[in-house]
Amino acid sequence: MDVTKISERLRTIVNYVAGQDIKLTVDPGLVGANAKYLGRVSSLLPESPLDQAFANQWIHSISSTTPFLSTKEGIAAFSETCEKLLAKTKSYAVGTSLTIVDLLVTAIGIEADLFKYPPTQQKKLAKYLNTLRADSTLKLIIPAAEAQTGQGRKQFIIPNGTGGRTRVDYILSNSDLVGQIVTVKGWARTVRIQGNGSFAFVEVNDGSTVKGIQVIVNNAFPDFSNLKGTGISVSCKGLLVESPGGEQSVEMQVQDPSQHEFKIIGDCDQTAFPISKKNHTPEFLRENAHLRTRTNLIGAIARIRNALAFATHMFFNSRGFLYVHTPLITASDCEGAGELFQVSTILKSKVADIKQKDGMVDYSQDFFGKPAFLTCSGQLNVEAYCSALSDVYTFGPTFRAENSHTTRHLSEFWMIEPEMAWAQLEDNMECAESYLKFCLQYAIDNCYADLEFFDKFVEKGLIDRLRNVLEKPFARISYTEAVDIIHKCGKQFKIMPQWGDDLNSEHERYIAEEVIKGPVIVFNYPKVLKAFYMKVNDDDATVQAMDILVPKIGEVIGGSVREDRLERLDQMIQFKNLDKESYWWYRDFRKYGSVPHAGFGLGFERLVMMVTGVENIRDVIPFPRWPGHAEF
């Protein structure tokens, strides 16, 4: 261990804490002397003479171990010294607030990686390091310093691309690469031969951004003569220059064979390539779902989808929710829905080969020993985790075997279902609204170029619509108020809903788009309309449900407080004509340490549609499944 590093680290920390710019005047090899000097100049020594004596003792004892900190034994000596000096009931080393001693331990802790690998044997020291890390003054500096030391996670990150290339999005956002030679690899989106065949503009896209990079290659390269058109894969090494054109900020010049390179890696037969044309119908692209990835539209959707998925995990993790993988296959037909896919190994080509008994399929011979299905929701399962770990969420595929051919339904789609112990309806609303806004903000922060693409080609005014959602708090009205509004507004609807009827999409859109002019949370729905697990209000007519309706999209989130009273739950199971016995395990959560809790569900594809403006759900999922369609 180079002890000068500890002195230097201590100086940085002291200056940060004291807001000063103290230079080291003592030999940096003398850690103890520097600590005393820095403490004095910055007034970070304790005030009382007794505490000053303790501080001196600390500084002497631990600074004597610093030269040995690169060995295990040195770290053990340091740890034991601290352990002995630490008082059990104190937060800081000396006195009741941060002193130079704490900063010295922090400096050593950073340099010796102790915050990352706290000693397991020294319980007081481990607790003390925890206190330092969480201290409001130090909690920013410790992780930042750890990142600098290069020992942490940072070393595993390659921001600019793998496989010997530099990512196009990295090039476009790092203006200091201008004037340098870089290598770009990707697919040619357009090829324009110019100047009587002396050079060509090749737009190279590597999927990292909607805009490719323009490569200007001349005919000095052998592969130039094979440049036929779109779809080929190329590797280009050349000079990055500021682009004189308005469309892009930089372009690449591949002109000098002695320094630059131009290679066609994979050819593409223009006459056979199904998507060589510029524009294709969405239907055609769906039939070629394995190649539609090469279009700007599907590329931009893929980036937004990735960003929204990551934002989902960031949001819930930052709130302390645990991600739970609920099962896909289940023999527990809990929601009582008939519209489930069956999962089996019992089916054969010949009917006679199917295991049977008295003309009935013999499910005891099936893989799970009984009929099994693909889940349509992870909620009931995730409540098992909510009933022990408090805040949890699922994010996984769910299935509907409905014979639905609309632009808003899929047979297989991804769903996010958070569940919060102790939450009331208001907590549920707050969480859902914050989650949606977090996702939108994340997309704006990280995928602006893609959003501009959608704003230009898919939905004019998209970005303004997203900002509108972000800017205002969501309105909140009860179902009863919603029905009232519909009755009193004087507008003609195809169906005029009576209290107790479902609101259909013309009502939902009218309320969100014309009355509220923004997102609205409708709550307290009639219990006849909603699922058995929703908590009944005292009026015994409504349940604590909530739906979030968004202009142009309609419902994006549905949720509720869950019934946590066993007796009431059983009444609802009966009211809905369900079989109490098949809910035995779900009812157990109400028997043993029941807690109030709430949650919601969001169809991930609906969110992607909301953020992109894309109107057919089959285009926002990589390989869509609907009746008759399970290719690829």
Show contacts with its own copies in window 60-79 (CB under 8 A). none
Should residue 197 be labelled a site residue for its own copies when binding is judged by CB under 8 A?
no
For its own copies, the closer CB: 15 or 537: 15
Show contacts with its own copies in window 166-185 (CB under 8 A). 167, 169-170, 172-176, 178, 185
Should residue 262 be labelled a site residue for its own copies when binding is judged by CB under 8 A?
no
21: left (phi over 0), alpha (psi -120 to 50) or beta: beta
Cα–Cα distance between 632 and 630 in angstroms, integer?
7
Applying CB under 8 A, among 343, 432, 503, 511 the residue interacting with its own copies is 343
Should residue 384 be labelled a site residue for its own copies when binding is judged by CB under 8 A?
yes
Least distance in Å: CB of 578 to its own copies?
17
Should residue 280 be labelled a site residue for its own copies when binding is judged by CB under 8 A?
no
Three-state secondary structure call for residue 244:
coil
**Per-residue DSSP letters for 207-237?**
SSSSS-EEEEEETTSGGGGG---TT-EEEEE
Query: What pairing do the DSSP bridges indicate for beta strands 250-254 and 213-218?
Result: parallel
Applying CB under 8 A, among 165, 260, 507, 527 the residue interacting with its own copies is 165
Residues 6+ apart with CB under 8 A from 407: 615, 616, 617, 618
Applying CB under 8 A, among 60, 90, 517, 580 the residue interacting with its own copies is 90
For its own copies, the closer CB: 448 or 493: 448
Show contacts with its own copies in window 453-512 (CB under 8 A). 455, 463, 467
Applying CB under 8 A, among 84, 336, 365, 422 the residue interacting with its own copies is 422
Applying CB under 8 A, among 50, 147, 337, 347 the residue interacting with its own copies is 347
**Tokens 């594809």 found at:** 605
Q: Which stretch binds its own copies (CB under 8 A): 27-35, 48-56, 284-292, 487-495?
A: 284-292
Q: Which stretch binds its own copies (CB under 8 A): 191-199, 442-450, 508-516, 573-581?
A: 442-450
For its own copies, the closer CB: 336 or 500: 336
Sign of dihedral through CA atoms 163, 168, 174, 178? positive
Show contacts with its own copies in window 526-555 (CB under 8 A). none
For its own copies, the closer CB: 256 or 427: 427
Residues 6+ apart with CB under 8 A from 379: 394, 417, 419, 533, 599, 601
Should residue 421 be labelled a site residue for its own copies when binding is judged by CB under 8 A?
yes
Residues 6+ apart with CB under 8 A from 151: 113, 116
Give CA separation, 378 vs 363, 375, 418, 422, in Å.
Answer: 24, 7, 10, 19
Least distance in Å: CB of 62 to its own copies?
21
Should residue 397 be labelled a site residue for its own copies when binding is judged by CB under 8 A?
yes
Should residue 351 be labelled a site residue for its own copies when binding is judged by CB under 8 A?
yes
Should residue 25 be labelled a site residue for its own copies when binding is judged by CB under 8 A?
no
Applying CB under 8 A, among 40, 192, 278, 348 the residue interacting with its own copies is 348
Helix (H) or strand (E) holding 199: strand 199-205
The DSSP symbol for 3 reads H
Q: Are 589 and 554 in contact (CB under 8 A)?
A: no
Applying CB under 8 A, among 10, 82, 104, 289 the residue interacting with its own copies is 289
**Per-residue DSSP letters for 565-584?**
-HHHHHHHHHHTT--GGGGH
Least distance in Å: CB of 552 to its own copies?
19
